Amino acid sequence: MIETRGVVNISLLFGSTWIVNSSVFAGILLMAFLANLWVVRFQPEHLEGFFLLLVGAVLVTYVLPSTLLLNLPLWGRGVLGGLVNGLPIAFAGVIFSTLFSRSTNPALSLGSNLLGAVVGGCVEYLSMLAGLKALALVALMIYLAVFVALKHHERAPRTEALNQQRKGIGGVVAAALLAGVAGIAVLASIAASGSRSGNAEAQAERRWIRANHLADARAKLQIFNSDSTPVEVAQTCEDAERIDPNALSSAERNQCAQAHMATTRDLLNSGQTAQARRAFDRAKVELAGRPAELSDLETSLKSAEESDRMNVGEQQRKEK
C-alpha cells in the first residue's frame, strides 16, 4: 500500500515517467537494505521505539503535501520524495527482520508475511472509495494492530511461548486482517459523509496537476534550441494549448507558429498532405490576424491538395 501510494505521490512531481518508479523503488530498496543492516549490526531487543517511529513516518507521508517538494530541483524532488515515501519501510523493516530472526519457525513466519502482502494488495482497492491518501491511515491501523498483538503475545508465560508460536503468529495475522477490515469500514463511512468535500479536493488537485503540466510545457519551450526538431516544439505547444489555450505569451505563440510552419513544410516534402493541413491549421491559429506570413505556405499546400485530388480522380478512372 505504501509503495502504491508513493508511486502516485511522486507522479505529481514528475508526471508519469520512469523517474517516478526509479525514485520510489530505489527509496524502498534502500530503506529495506538499511533496515536489515541495522538489525545485523545492532540486534535491537526492544521494538517499541521503532513502532513509534513507524507511526510517525506514516503520519508524515499522510500529512506532507507533495507541493512542498515542487520547488526543489529535479534531483532534489527525486531523492527527497523517494526517501520520504520509503521512510516507513525502514522502520517496518527493522521490526520485521528482528521478529523474523527470533522466530522458531521461519517458514511459517515468512508465509505469514507473504499473506500480509496479499492482504495489502487487496486492501489497495479501497483507494477507489476513499482515495489513495487514505491508504496511509489503513496501513497505520494495521501496524497498530500488529503492535497490540505482539505485546499480548509477549505477556504469555515463557514456558508456553514455544508451544504457542503458531497460535501467536496466527493471532498477529488475524489482528492485522481485522484492523484492515475496521479501517475499510471507518474510511467508507468517512468517504460517504464527506463526498462533497472530497470531490472539491479532487477538483483542486486536478487543477494543480494541470497547472504543473502547463508549467513544464512552458519550461520546455524556453530551453528548446536549434538542435530541437520542429515536431518536438509543435507537440509541446499542443500539450500546453490543450491544457489552457490562452496561457502562452505572444513570444511563445510565435515560436509555436514557426514550429507548425516548419512541420508543415517537412510534411509536404514527404508527401503527407493531410498531416500538413493539420499542422498548417495550427499555425493559422497561432498567427491569427497575420495571414500574410502564411500566404506562400498556403499556396504550396493548396497545390499539393489539388494534386492529390487529381491523382485520386485519375486512379478512380483507371479502376472503372
Over residues 75-88, the pLDDT tens digits come to: 777 788 888 888 99
Q: Is there a single domain that holds both residue 135 and residue 281?
A: no
Q: Are 282 and 290 in contact (CB under 8 A)?
A: no
Q: Is there a single domain that holds both residue 258 and residue 179?
A: no
Q: Is there a single domain that holds both residue 213 and residue 315?
A: yes
Of the CA atoms within 13 Å of residue 133, those in its CB half-sphere come to 13
**pTM to 2 decimal places:** 0.52
Q: What is the dihedral of CA 124, 11, 3, 32, to 10 degrees?
A: 180
Q: Is there a single domain that holds both residue 236 and residue 279?
A: yes
* Final residue before a domain boundary, out of 171, 194, 217: 194
Q: Which domain, by its residues, includes 275?
A: 204-319
Domain-embedded: residue 212: yes
Q: Give the whole-angstrom CA distance, residue 178 versus residue 172.
A: 10
* Final residue before a domain boundary, out of 165, 194, 223: 194
Domain-embedded: residue 190: yes
The set of cell numbers assigned to 292 is 500574410
CB atoms within 10 A of CB 1: 22
Q: Is there a single domain that holds both residue 190 and residue 210?
A: no
Q: Is there a single domain that holds both residue 94 and residue 137?
A: yes
The set of cell numbers assigned to 226 is 536549434
Portion of the chain with pLDDT greater than 90, in percent: 14
Closest to 85 (Cα-Cα) out of 108, 62, 107 = 62
Q: Is there a single domain that holds both residue 61 and residue 151?
A: yes
Over residues 175-226, the pLDDT tens digits come to: 556 666 666 656 556 555 555 555 666 666 566 566 666 666 666 666 565 5
Domain-embedded: residue 282: yes
Q: Which residue has the cell 509536404?
A: 268
Could you tell me the CA-to-CA distances from 28 to 3, 84, 131, 137, 251 in Å, in that order? 8, 10, 22, 19, 44
Could you tell me the CA-to-CA distances from 300 to 147, 231, 264, 303 in Å, in that order? 75, 20, 10, 5
The set of cell numbers assigned to 135 is 491508504
Q: Is there a single domain that holds both residue 208 and residue 294?
A: yes
Domain-embedded: residue 199: no
Whether residue 27 has pLDDT greater than 90: no
87-91, 170-174, 314-318: least confidently modelled range: 170-174
Domain-embedded: residue 210: yes
Q: Is there a single domain that holds both residue 60 and residue 105?
A: yes
Q: Which residue has the cell 511563445?
A: 252
229-233, 278-282, 286-290: least confidently modelled range: 286-290
Q: Is there a single domain that holds both residue 286 and residue 185?
A: no
The pLDDT of residue 172 = 57
Residue 118: burial class (beta carbons within 10 Å; 0-12, 13-18, 19+): exposed
Domain-embedded: residue 120: yes
The sign of the CA dihedral 280, 286, 289, 290 is negative
Domain-embedded: residue 226: yes
Q: Are 34 and 168 in contact (CB under 8 A)?
A: no
Q: Directed axis angle between helix 230-243 and helix 195-223, to 10°? A: 150
* Final residue before a domain boundary, out of 169, 194, 219: 194
The pLDDT of residue 97 = 93
How would you write 139-178 as a 3-class SS string?
HHHHHHHHHHHHHHHHCCCHHHHCCCHHHHHHHHHHHHHH
Task: Read off the pLDDT of each residue in 54-58 and give the average, rounded to a whole number.
Answer: 93
Q: Which residue has the cell 472509495?
A: 129
Q: Is there a single domain that holds both residue 158 and residue 18?
A: yes
Could you tell me the CA-to-CA distances from 283 to 149, 298, 302 in Å, in that order? 67, 11, 15
Provide the pLDDT confidence category of residue 159 given band limits of 50, 70 and 90: very low
The set of cell numbers assigned to 274 is 493531410
Q: Give the whole-angstrom CA distance, residue 23 versus residue 10.
A: 8
Task: Read off the pLDDT of each residue in 240-261 and give the average, rounded to a whole number.
Answer: 78
Q: Is there a single domain that holds both residue 211 and residue 267?
A: yes
Q: Are 275 and 267 in contact (CB under 8 A)?
A: yes
Number of domains in the chain: 2
Domain-embedded: residue 137: yes
